[in-house]
């Protein structure tokens, strides 16, 4: 008798063993109910109206210190007009992937402008920033290759490495010695090596140590990719990103950026040598099998890139606001870590105290983001704040008053 045929035969009726309930873990997940019952659930807050620096929640006006709208362009009349004109000319969506029927001249023009902005030969627009990291990493890193990432890299980078067929190594945040150990291990594999780091780390507000990472990667023959999601429009002489800030553009092999921060929209892009971008364009599953970025979103980004180029003073205002908030928090005794960007975390540590602090801020009229593990390391829960170029000095000073009272009430500062 064929043993395989015996295995494939159905069990006699009445002897089947039921599988464990797939939804058991869902039923056991009670943390959200408990947090809501305690009045400390801080997520999925419905905003009913937005003016950029201020939002309305349940009829109450709040100062927005939780947005990535760094250049304050989401409500700029020129941006809204460009989005409306594109929607009227091209319709509300492309109804297909760029690979087939969803490729517009708008996409290609934007790619030329983005490549010029970041100093690379070519760029490729994706429908979300998350898809950029998934698509680029999984297509360029193959079987036998290695990919090395900072332990605090964004979740999209982590997921991109898991979709690749390469060996994955993680080094301690900005620890160059630990990065070298990972590079040494990666050399035991027959293939190439890709190092991927955030330019600006979104929960810490600090920078990747590119002046040290670049020569080390070169020494081991590794390629380097930098995620500029939170630095496009913010860092560098022209807003090109962290690579421009450190003057290492030509030594960075791949760049990615997103449109949901400085560029007031949604989507993302990859940039690099033309032959690499062409390879990604024809191998990235997240690009080929996703509907393309809608026309109004593309037009929004194009107009933001234009404004960035024409109004450098906008970035000056952003940095002035960031310094004003950071200096105020430090003077009050808050722990803001090693931040040096418009992302300013207020590190609390304990998760429950973080939620209580958030609630005090929320009730006081300041909208912020509480961040807990696994988004940050255990026992380093924090309130993430971020600035816009369009915040006024009066708004920042008022927010600081509320933060000080909330910090004392929640026991974050004495």
Specify the domain boundaries for CATH 3.40.640.10 within the chain: 77-310
Which of 261, 303, 359, 391 is the catalytic position?
261
Show pLDDT as tens, one digit a residue, over the chain (414 residues): 455 555 566 666 766 788 999 999 999 999 999 999 999 999 999 999 999 999 999 999 999 999 999 999 999 999 999 999 999 999 999 999 999 999 999 999 999 999 999 999 999 999 999 999 999 999 999 999 999 999 999 999 999 999 999 999 999 999 999 999 999 999 999 999 999 999 999 999 999 999 999 999 999 999 999 999 999 999 999 999 999 999 999 999 999 999 999 999 999 999 999 999 999 999 999 999 999 999 999 999 999 999 999 999 999 999 999 999 999 999 999 999 999 999 999 999 999 999 999 999 999 999 999 999 998 999 999 999 999 999 999 999 999 999 999 999 999 998
Give yes or no: 391 in active site: no
pLDDT in tens, 169-198: 999 999 999 999 999 999 999 999 999 999
- Tell me how far apart the 2 most distant CA atoms of the chain are, in Å: 85
Kindly tell me the burial class for residue 60, based on how many C-beta atoms sit within 10 Å of its own C-beta (0-12, 13-18, 19 or more): exposed
Specify the domain boundaries for CATH 3.90.1150.10 within the chain: 37-66+312-409
Q: Distance between CA 261 and CA 258 in Å, rounded?
A: 7
- What Rg value do the Cα atoms of the chain yield, rounded? 24
pLDDT in tens, 77-118: 999 999 999 999 999 999 999 999 999 999 999 999 999 999
> In this structure, is the dihedral angle defined by the CA atoms of residues 57, 62, 68 and 71, taken in order, positive or negative?
positive
Cβ–Cβ < 8 Å for 364, 399: no
Which of 120, 154, 230, 359 is the catalytic position?
230
What is the number of other CB atoms lying within 10 angstroms of the CB of residue 390?
21
Q: Which residues, 6 or more positions from 372, have their beta carbon under 8 angstroms from its beta carbon? A: 351, 354, 381
Q: Angle at Cα 370 formed by Cα 256 and Cα 241, nearest 5°? A: 20
Both structure tokens of 331: 């003077």
Domain 77-310 indexed as CATH 3.40.50.10320: no
Cβ–Cβ < 8 Å for 331, 322: no
Question: Comparing C-alpha atoms, which of 260, 223, 250 is closest to residue 73?
Answer: 260
Which of 67, 146, 156, 202 is the catalytic position?
202
Domain 37-66+312-409 CATH (choose: 3.90.1150.50, 3.90.1150.10, 3.40.50.150, 3.40.50.1970) = 3.90.1150.10
Give yes or no: 202 in active site: yes
44: left (phi over 0), alpha (psi -120 to 50) or beta: left
Give yes or no: 245 in active site: no
Both structure tokens of 63: 């100062």
């Amino acid at each position: 008798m064929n043993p395989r045929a015996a295995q494939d035969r159905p069990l006699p009726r009445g002897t089947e063993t039921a599988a464990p309930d797939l939804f058991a873990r869902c039923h056991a997940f009670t943390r959200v109910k408990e947090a809501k019952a305690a009045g400390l659930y801080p997520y999925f807050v419905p905003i009913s109206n937005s003016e950029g620096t201020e939002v309305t929640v349940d009829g109450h006006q709040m100062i927005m210190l939780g947005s990535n709208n760094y250049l304050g362009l989401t409500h700029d009349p020129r941006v809204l007009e460009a989005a409306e004109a594109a929607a009227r000319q091209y319709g509300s969506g492309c109804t297909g992937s760029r690979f087939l029927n969803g490729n517009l001249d708008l996409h290609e023009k934007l790619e030329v402008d983005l490549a010029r902005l970041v100093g690379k030969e070519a760029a490729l627009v994706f429908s979300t920033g998350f898809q950029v990291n998934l698509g680029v990493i999984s297509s360029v890193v193959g079987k036998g290759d290695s990919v090395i990432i900072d332990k605090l890299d964004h979740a999209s980078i982590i997921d991109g490495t898991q979709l690749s067929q390469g060996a994955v190594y993680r080094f301690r945040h900005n620890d160059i010695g630990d990065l070298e150990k990972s590079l040494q291990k990666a050399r035991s594999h027959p293939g190439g090596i890709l190092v991927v780091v955030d330019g600006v780390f979104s929960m810490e507000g600090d920078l990747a140590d590119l002046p040290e990472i670049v020569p080390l990667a070169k020494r081991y023959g590794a390629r380097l990719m930098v995620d500029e999601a939170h630095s496009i429009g913010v860092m560098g002489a022209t807003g090109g990103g962290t690579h421009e800030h450190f003057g290492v553009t030509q030594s960075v092999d791949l760049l990615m950026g997103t449109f949901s921060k400085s560029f007031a929209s949604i989507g993302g892009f990859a940039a690099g040598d033309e032959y690499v971008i062409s390879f990604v364009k024809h191998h990235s599953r997240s690009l080929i099998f996703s509907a393309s970025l809608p026309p109004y979103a593309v037009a929004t980004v194009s107009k933001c890139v234009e404004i960035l180029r024409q109004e450098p003073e906008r970035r000056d205002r952003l940095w002035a606001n960031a310094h004003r908030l950071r200096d105020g928090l430090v003077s009050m005794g808050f722990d803001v870590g090693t931040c040096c960007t418009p992302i300013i975390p207020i590190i609390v540590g304990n998760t429950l105290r973080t939620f209580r602090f958030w609630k005090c801020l929320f009730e006081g009229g300041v909208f912020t983001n509480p961040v807990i593990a696994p988004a940050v390391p255990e026992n380093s829960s924090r309130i993430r704040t971020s600035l816009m170029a369009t915040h006024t000095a009066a708004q920042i000073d008022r927010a600081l008053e509320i933060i000080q009272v909330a910090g004392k009430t929640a026991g974050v500062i004495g």
